[in-house]
Amino acid sequence: MSASPPVILVTGAARRIGAAIARLLHAAGACIALHYRASAAEAQALADELNGERAGSALTVAADLCDSAALPPLIETVVAHFGRLDALVNNASSFFATPLGAIDARAWHELMGSNLQGPLFLAQAAATHLAASPLEGGGAIVNITDIHAERPLAGYTLYCAAKGGLLTLTRALAIELAPRVRVNAVAPGAIAWPENEHDFPPAERQAIIAHTLLGRIGEPLDIARTVRFLIFDAPYVTGQTINVDGGRTAHL
C-alpha cells in the first residue's frame, strides 16, 4: 500500500455482503465510501462504527444507481472528501423473479439499472481517478456478478441477463482501462439467502446446498476476502471472474 490510506467506494455497502466487504477492506487499512440508496440508517451506523475505529475513515454517499446522471457527482463527492479514489466495488444489486411473459419496463429499469447500467457509469466516471492510484498494479474495479450470469436460473431471466452483461462488461473494461486499472469480478453462489423467503423456499434451499460440493452455504466474509485479494494482492490479475460458490458450478 501507499503511505496514505487507499480509498475504496463500495456500492450497496450498508448491509449484508456489501457491509462485510466494507468492514474487511477497512480492516485492511482503507478509507471507505459507503454507498446506499434507501438504507440510510444502516449506512450511517456502519460509518459510525468504522469512524470509531479510525477517525475520518468512512463516508456515506447516497445515489440511485438507475439514475446515470447522479453517478459522476457521486464519484466527485468521494474524491473531494478523501482526495483520491483507488478502487471501486460494484456490489449493489436488485434481485427478484421475472417470469417470461410478465417482464415489464419497471423490472427492466430496476434490474438493468442496478446490475449493469450503474456499474458502467460509475466505472466511466471513476476511471481517471483510478488510473492515478499509487497502489501496486494501479487502481482496481471489482464487480460482484453471480454464478447465474453464465448458468441462468429459471424464472430470473432479466436478472441473469443483467449479470451476464456485467460479466462481459468486466472483460471489456479490463481491455479499455489497461494497463493502469485492473478490472475483475467475483461471482457468488449460495452466500446469503434473499430476505424474501418466497425467492428460495426451504426445500429449494436444501436442494441447492445438497448440490454444493462443500455441503453448505457460504458467508459474506467469503466474498469480502476475495474482493480484498483482487484489490490488494493480485497486481497481475485482470479481466477474470472468481466463482465463490463452494464448488457448485463444478457440476451445474
| Three-class HEC string of 184-243 | EEEEECCCCCCCCCCCCCHHHHHHHHHCCCCCCCCCHHHHHHHHHHHHHCCCCCCCCEEE
User: Distances from the Cα of 30 to the Cαs of 45, 86, 188, 232, in angstroms?
Assistant: 18, 9, 23, 10
| pLDDT number for residue 194 | 72
| pLDDT number for residue 192 | 78
| pLDDT number for residue 35 | 98
| pLDDT number for residue 203 | 84
| Residues designated catalytic | 159
Contacts of 221 (CB under 8 A, 6+ apart): 20, 24
What is d(CA 234, CA 193) in angstroms, rounded to the nearest whole number?
29
Per-residue pLDDT of the chain (252 residues; tens, 9 = 90+): 446 999 999 999 999 999 999 999 999 999 999 999 999 999 999 999 999 999 999 999 999 999 999 999 999 999 999 999 999 999 999 999 999 999 999 999 999 999 999 999 999 999 999 999 999 999 999 999 999 999 999 999 999 999 999 999 999 999 999 999 999 999 999 887 777 656 778 888 888 888 899 999 999 999 999 999 999 999 999 999 999 999 999 986
- Supply the pTM of this predicted model: 0.95
The phi and psi torsions of 36 (rounded to 5 degrees) equal -150, 160
| pLDDT number for residue 201 | 80
What domains are there in the chain, each with its CATH number?
A: 7-247 (3.40.50.720)
| pLDDT number for residue 200 | 73
| pLDDT number for residue 211 | 87
Single-letter residue type at 83: G
